[in-house]
Structure 1
Amino acid sequence: MNILIINGPNLNLLGVREKSVYGDTSFEAYLEQLRSRYPNIAFSYYQSNVEGEIINKLHEVGFSYDGIVMNAGAYTHTSIAIADAIAAINTPVVEVHISNVYKREEYRQTSLMAKNCKGVIAGFGMESYRLAVESFV
């Protein structure tokens, strides 16, 4: 099984950014835990702060992978283009958020992507990614 994890803007700073919201673990360290827990899954990881690069990656793998776990960061609330890219591909996408976006600012409570995703997982810290992976296995 091939699963791609895509992280959007500012998520390259996990482990050092707003630790009270996002924790103190880097995503790379967490990814190693996922790989250890699911040795039969081939995980790929992609992070970009650029909207168009995220869209290009969705187009690249969206017809060949078994699943995509996506934390689009702030693009979740603003990018019609990423939402359209998700709708255009065959690979199912699970939207994830580390924080509980429904306990935060009002603008974070709207996802333009969710209607095109298999599901949405929010508020379980880094474990949101594992829960998304579980939806594929």
Structure 2
Amino acid sequence: MPETLTLYVLNGPNLNLLGVREPDIYGHETLADVQAMCEAAAEGARVVFRQSNHEGQLVDWIQEARTEASALVINPAAFTHTSVALLDALKTLSIPVVECHLSNPAAREAFRHHSYVSLAATGVIAGFGPRSYELAVRAALDLARRAGTKG
């Protein structure tokens, strides 16, 4: 029987306020709803789902994923546009990395058009609301299965 894949899903600042923060942009689903959606989309893969408002905590989890995860989905939120630290941490990974956004940053304010994270991501999924996570989970696990990465 093949090993179970482990997928890290990391969420950046303010995503703990999903459902109440700017629902016209981010929707009414909560982060718990998104987690349930990710777990369902993972189809048996182990999902490690975390959120932090602190850049260093996200860096620690990315570093942990180097040895513990088969793939990583990250919604870096505002750190997308500011964090060289996240970029540097992501560049240490040899597993698939899918950058995920609820909204489409390219259709928003000009400062949101640049992503440091994209420089290290295998791919980017954005603009589909919470469904972006489902698509990102499926893509990341498909890439991990094709690469035969660790569980």
TM-score > 0.5, shorter chain as reference:
yes
Moved runs in structure 1, 4+ residues, more than 6 A? none
Aligned length, in residue pairs = 137
User: Residue type of the partner of 1:68?
Assistant: L
Does 1 or 2 have the higher relative contact order (CA < 8 Å, sep 6+)? 2
Matched-pair identity in %: 39
Runs of 5+ consecutive residues of structure 1 not aligned to the other structure: none
Aligned residues: CA RMSD? 1.2
Whether the 8 Å CA contact 1:69–1:96 is kept in 2: the answer is yes
Tell me how far apart the structure 1 counterparts of residues 75 and 31 of structure 2 sit (CA, whole Å): 12
Equivalences for 1:8-87 in 2 at 5 Å?
8-87=12-91
Tell me how far apart the structure 1 counterparts of residues 36 and 55 of structure 2 sit (CA, whole Å): 26
Q: 2:137 aligns with which of 114, 133, 136?
A: 133
Tell me the equivalent position of 2:106. Answer: 102
User: Residue type of the partner of 1:40?
Assistant: G
Whether the 8 Å CA contact 1:64–1:91 is kept in 2: the answer is no
Tell me how far apart the structure 2 counterparts of residues 112 and 37 of structure 1 sit (CA, whole Å): 27
Runs of 5+ consecutive residues of structure 2 not aligned to the other structure: 143-151
Q: CA deviation at 1:90?
A: 1.9
What's the CA shift string for 1:31-87, capped at 9, x where partnerless?
A: 213323434111111100000110011111223311111000110000001000000
